[in-house]
Amino acid sequence: MPGRWGNIPFLPCLLCLAAGILTSQFVVDYSFAGLVLAGVMLLAAGFLALQRDRLRVALFAALGSVSLCGTLLGISDRDSYSELDVRMHLRRHAFSLDEIVLFDGCIAEEVETLEGDHLVTVELHGFRTGNHWLRCTGRALLRVAAGPDEDPRMPTGVLKYGDRIRGSAVFHLPRNFQNPGAVDRVGLLARRGIFLVGRVKSVQLLEVLPGDCGTSWKRAAIRAREALRLRLQPLAEDGRKTQAAVLLSLLIGDQNSLNTSTRETFQNAGTYHVLVVSGLHVAWIAWALLQVFRRLRLSPAPSRILVAAGILFYSGLVGFQASVSRCLWVYILYLSGQALFRAAHPLNLLSAGSFLMLSVQPGWLFDQGFQLSFLSVIAILLLGVRFLDGSLRPLLSPLRSAGDNERLSFEPGPWSSLGRCWRARAELLAEACADRGHRSIEPALLATFRTSALGMLHLGGMALISLSVQLWLNPVMAFHFNRLSWISPVSNLLVVPLASLTLASGILAVLADCAALPSLVPLGIATWCASALVQSTDWFSRLPGTWQRCATPSAFSTGFLLLLMFVWSVFQWRHIWIPCLATLLCLVWLGNGFLLLEILLRSRDARSFLARQDDSGRPREDLQLIILDVGQGDSVVLRYPDRTVWVLDAGGIRDATPEDTEPPSLDIGEVVVSRYLWSVGAPRLERALLSHPHQDHAGGLFALIKNFAVREINYGEPGFDALLEQLVAAARARGVLPRRVQAGDRFAMGPVKVEVLNPVVDGTRRSINDNSVVVRLTYGRFSALLTGDLEITGETEVSLRARELEARLLKVAHHGSKSATRDSFLDRVRPRWAVISAGRNNPFGHPAREVLIRLVRHGARPLLTSDQGAITFRTDGARYTLSTFVSGVLEQGEF
């Protein structure tokens, strides 16, 4: 390949393949044969152009065909499956959803535990429909309730990898939360080959059949991991649970024991990558094995092959996790390149490995781990090495040979010139000190300078590499995780060596155990290193201003920043600091700039200029009311015309209790409500309102208090409640003002009037649901009534007390339960739209059929978050737009 791409021909091929896979996500209606024909024609055109020496035309035709191949691979991966595939049975409606199905299959992965239940990945072999069985292929993820006599920490006592099982389960399709900014859980499961999720009420409903369908090597790896867990269990029981969890995560990638606070500490310090089995582990193992083989005087070729075998063994031990498998592929390609070409370009080898991986697994392009792994290596090769070889090494190399007249540096460039100046000054200083003192001072000083230069080279190299990686990764981290760690280039200087020591001592302890040798000393060293790792990370994360949560950047801006860095680095343009500075400024703006934008928008002239205008050219100031899809719970976001944001409830897991010491595995406030607010760029929350202290309403508010600058939190419950006390304590700890509201309170948010209709503090005992905060909003000719979990008694009292109750939009109380929304209440409210927030297939039967009938009978249009996802109502008081995440715009018009 001509030009700058001559040493890295696989890089443009990789870029075109990735572009084609990305394009496939937008291709819905297509002719597969037509696309194949187009690819063949492109190849033919390229061949003809090559024969006529039209090299550029041939090159573009070849790259175009690669891109088209990427599109075909993406489409095939998404839409192509066999007749026996469970997706084909679902298309034909042969496989019943949301009802009990008898199935037969094999446990395909190690059984995990989650909140006392077993998570079982089953390779389906068949299912029963009617009186006969149908064969099928594909995977399902089952959540099996643990029995009363089971130890949930040891699921292998009941179900284990390789068991052939038969039983009954209720299956349904995986589903994302239907909100802007939601995590793509469906895509994540699909990349694991899982297209069904199911629930088994008891492990006793599963029968383990005779026979075994696992592989011996995988079973041995699982036994080794179980043995390590048992070996570290006394450590956890001795009060060092965090150290044991860190060791498990570092050694075998088992993060199930990591608590939420430890995860957040490592994330805030920008060092979470050390807890993931990835390139760091592979690099350390490869380096350690190479050092051993060098001591044994093995030649390079067999040493590299043995290193590859060692990495293969470790990959099997950790269960061939995607991250370490990718590293294994790249290392094997590296060995092949070294054997075939001797001096293969590292970037070309990385591109070739990624090209092959995406050809086999196109879905990996959208995997966060793949993106972060690939970009981190790209950052090291394109930016880190450039910084190191172009500045730091020329600066310090002359000083490293200070006093050695046979090693002189004559390299051109300002950094080399400065380095020679440093060397000359060091030699003059050493000579002057020797003249004034003893002659032995000169060699000692020169040795000190050389050692210092070597230390600065290693330390500075680590800092430059870390800084380069963070410049590349931070836009992606902001896009996926809404987190910026400013301290990470510094924290990694200490944490990465500590993690390497922890990994090394941990592996030595494991090997000693396997060889029946004393392992107490290496295990003690590993525990001490793990403690130091946790403490240092905690110290970095506690420094003020070292990290922050941020709004979600657009995919376009993220891609543009990465493209800017990539093009500048590949073409080796001068002034590399320009894209680096641009990326840094964009990250600073992302973290803090929207606050400046908010200040700007508060000025009347700027707001009038930027506000949406009506047909006559006058600015429109809209009220937005968004009912989020949070499953079986409630969360309403109010965005007022002056861009002030309120949140009423934030969902939560209903089964959680105030006595839980750890948050639930799925924090609705973090992964649903916060991600929505970040996706729309909400700068801060003026108020967080709690309708009543039940987990499905209050559980997510803890995350909002932690993630956003909340000015005030309001609640209405007049009595004592443990969950409410925890929330108030968390608010005070974050500097948030807690305040009780009651019936009669009024707020004016510009042109929007807000009135609290419930609860009444009169000494009467009421249920928690009937003490729900009820809010009525009015804006021009629009009104909305938000009722929490109000029940019949509460509805009756509100109807009798409230002077004005009519509302065009009603947020139906108690998720559509039959214990609320009576005819008499609807007669007072007279809603035009009725929004019900309830989870799909929830165990309570919400919304009740009779409630839906009553709503329709009163002329209201029911809208369910379980069907439509997030429901957005936007109005300027005279006109309105009703839209949903699933269906888009449903209605628009004037009142």
Average pLDDT of the chain is 85
Tokens of 304: 């590299």
Identify the CA nearest to 96 among candidates 46, 171, 176, 146: 171
Give the distance, in angstroms, between the CA of residue 400 and the centroid of all CA atoms in the same chain: 44
How many residues are present in the chain?
895
Q: How is the chain split among helix, strand and coil, in percent rounded to 5?
A: 50, 15, 30
Does residue 847 have a cis peptide bond before it, meaning omega lies within 30 degrees of 0?
Answer: yes
Claim to verify: residue 692 and residue 826 sit in the same structural domain: yes
Q: 847 pLDDT exceeds 70?
A: yes
Q: How confident is the model at residue 135 (pLDDT cuts 50, 70, 90)?
A: very high
Claim to verify: residue 573 and residue 528 sit in the same structural domain: no
Q: In what order do the strands lie in the sheet with 645-648?
A: 737-740, 710-715, 685-690, 645-648, 636-639, 623-627, 871-875, 879-884, 888-894
Identify the CA nearest to 174 among candidates 188, 155, 160: 188
Identify the CA nearest to 698 among candidates 764, 621, 601, 788: 788
Question: Residues 21, 27, 28, 33: is their CA dihedral positive or negative?
Answer: negative
Q: How confident is the model at residue 6 (pLDDT cuts 50, 70, 90)?
A: low
Amino acid at 721: D
Tokens of 121: 């990945």
Question: Where in the sequence is the domain holding 508, given as residue range(s)?
Answer: 224-271+488-547
Q: What is the pLDDT of residue 654?
A: 65
Tokens of 522: 């290496």
Residue 464, domain member (yes or no)? yes
576 within 8 A of 568, measured Cβ to Cβ: yes
Q: What is the pLDDT of residue 604?
A: 41
Claim to verify: residue 836 and residue 737 sit in the same structural domain: yes
Residue 476, domain member (yes or no)? no
Residue 852, domain member (yes or no)? yes
Location of structure tokens 């508010």 = 701
How many of the other CB atoms lie within 10 Å of CB of 136? Answer: 24
Most confident of 459-473, 521-535, 662-676, 702-716: 702-716
357 within 8 A of 329, measured Cβ to Cβ: yes
- For residues 578 and 586, what is the distance between their CA atoms, to the nearest angstrom? 12
Q: The domain spanning residue 164 has which CATH number?
A: 2.40.50.140
- For residues 468 and 384, what is the distance between their CA atoms, to the nearest angstrom? 5
- For residues 679 and 785, what is the distance between their CA atoms, to the nearest angstrom? 26
CA of 21: how far to CAs of 10, 26, 69, 358, in Å?
Answer: 16, 10, 8, 9
Does residue 522 have a cis peptide bond before it, meaning omega lies within 30 degrees of 0?
Answer: no
Q: Find the range with the poorest average confidence among 62-71, 449-458, 807-816.
A: 449-458
Tokens of 377: 């290596």
**Phi and psi, residue 602, nearest 5°:** -75, -15
Q: Find the range with the poorest average confidence among 28-37, 588-597, 713-722.
A: 588-597
Q: What is the mean pLDDT of residues 653-681?
A: 76
Q: How confident is the model at residue 614 (pLDDT cuts 50, 70, 90)?
A: very low
Give the distance, in angstroms, between the CA of residue 234 and the centroid of all CA atoms in the same chain: 32
Tokens of 852: 């839906």
Claim to verify: residue 845 and residue 883 sit in the same structural domain: yes
Print burial letters for 382-402: b (CB count within 10 Å at least 16), e (below 16).
bbbbbbbeebbbbbbbbbbbb
- For residues 375 and 777, what is the distance between their CA atoms, to the nearest angstrom? 48
- For residues 20 and 696, what is the distance between their CA atoms, to the nearest angstrom? 42
Q: What is the pLDDT of residue 5?
A: 63
Claim to verify: residue 564 and residue 539 sit in the same structural domain: no
Identify the CA nearest to 319 among candidates 457, 498, 121, 487: 121
Q: What is the pLDDT of residue 809?
A: 96
**Largest Cα–Cα separation, the chain:** 105
Domain's final residue, options 36, 60, 79:
79
Bridge partners of 623? Answer: 875
Q: 572 pLDDT exceeds 80?
A: no
704 within 8 A of 667, measured Cβ to Cβ: no
139-144 and 194-200: which strand pairing?
parallel
Q: What is the mean pLDDT of residues 440-446?
A: 81
Residue 100 vs residue 578, higher pLDDT: 100
Claim to verify: residue 666 and residue 746 sit in the same structural domain: yes
Bridge partners of 810? Answer: 785, 834
Location of structure tokens 């060995």 = 335
Claim to verify: residue 693 and residue 730 sit in the same structural domain: yes
- For residues 724 and 456, what is the distance between their CA atoms, to the nearest angstrom? 53
Three-state DSSP class for residue 892: strand
- Using CA atoms of 791, 792, 793, 798 in order, give the dihedral in degrees to the nearest 10: 80
Q: 277 pLDDT exceeds 70?
A: yes
Q: 619 pLDDT exceeds 50?
A: no
Residue 408, domain member (yes or no)? no
Most confident of 435-439, 510-514, 770-774: 770-774
Three-state DSSP class for residue 432: helix
621 within 8 A of 751, measured Cβ to Cβ: yes
**Phi and psi, residue 206, nearest 5°:** -110, 135
Q: 839 pLDDT exceeds 80?
A: yes
Helix or strand run (H / E) with residue 755: strand 752-758
Q: Find the range with the poorest average confidence among 293-297, 537-541, 637-641.
A: 293-297
Bridge partners of 758? Answer: 774
Claim to verify: residue 694 and residue 677 sit in the same structural domain: yes
Helix or strand run (H / E) with residue 50: helix 32-51
Q: 518 pLDDT exceeds 80?
A: no
Claim to verify: residue 811 and residue 724 sit in the same structural domain: yes
Residue 401, domain member (yes or no)? no
pLDDT tens-digit map of 735-763: 999 999 999 999 999 899 999 998 988 77
Determine the Cα angle at 552 with ends 549 and 556, to 5°.
145
Give the distance, in angstroms, between the CA of residue 569 and the centroid of all CA atoms in the same chain: 27
Residue 100, domain member (yes or no)? yes
Domains of the chain: total: 7
Residue 231 vs residue 662, higher pLDDT: 231
Domain's final residue, options 79, 96, 117:
79
CA of 460: how far to CAs of 315, 381, 448, in Å?
Answer: 32, 16, 17
Report CA Rg, the chain.
31
Q: Find the range with the poorest average confidence among 116-125, 164-173, 225-234.
A: 225-234
Residue 60, domain member (yes or no)? yes
738 within 8 A of 716, measured Cβ to Cβ: no
Claim to verify: residue 50 and residue 193 sit in the same structural domain: no
Q: What is the pLDDT of residue 445?
A: 85
pLDDT tens-digit map of 85-106: 999 999 998 999 989 999 999 9
- For residues 482 and 587, what is the distance between their CA atoms, to the nearest angstrom? 11
Query: Which of left, alpha, beta for 613 (phi over 0: left; psi -120 to 50: alpha)?
Result: beta
- For residues 142 and 121, what is the distance between their CA atoms, to the nearest angstrom? 6
Q: Find the range with the poorest average confidence among 127-141, 273-287, 292-306, 593-607.
A: 593-607
Bridge partners of 198? Answer: 142, 171
How many of the other CB atoms lie within 10 Å of CB of 557? Answer: 14
- For residues 639 and 622, what is the distance between their CA atoms, to the nearest angstrom? 8
Residue 766 vs residue 114, higher pLDDT: 766
Residue 407, domain member (yes or no)? no
What are the residues whose beta carbons fall under 8 Å from the beta carbon of 216, sequence distance 6 or more?
Answer: none
DSSP assignment of 658-726, as one string?
Answer: TT-SS--SS-HIIIIIIHHHHHTT---EEEEEESSS-HHHHTTHHHHHHHS-EEEEEE---S--HHHHH
Print burial letters for 436-454: b (CB count within 10 Å at least 16), e (below 16).
eeeeebbeebbeebbeebe
Claim to verify: residue 127 and residue 236 sit in the same structural domain: no
What are the residues whose beta carbons fall under 8 Å from the beta carbon of 85, sequence distance 6 or more?
Answer: 136, 137, 138
- For residues 550 and 486, what is the distance between their CA atoms, to the nearest angstrom? 12
Claim to verify: residue 242 and residue 141 sit in the same structural domain: no
Q: What is the pLDDT of residue 609?
A: 36
- For residues 820 and 793, what is the distance between their CA atoms, to the nearest angstrom? 9
Location of structure tokens 């800017």 = 564
CA of 280: how far to CAs of 248, 273, 275, 276, 372, in Å?
Answer: 16, 9, 10, 9, 13
Domain's final residue, options 523, 547, 571:
547
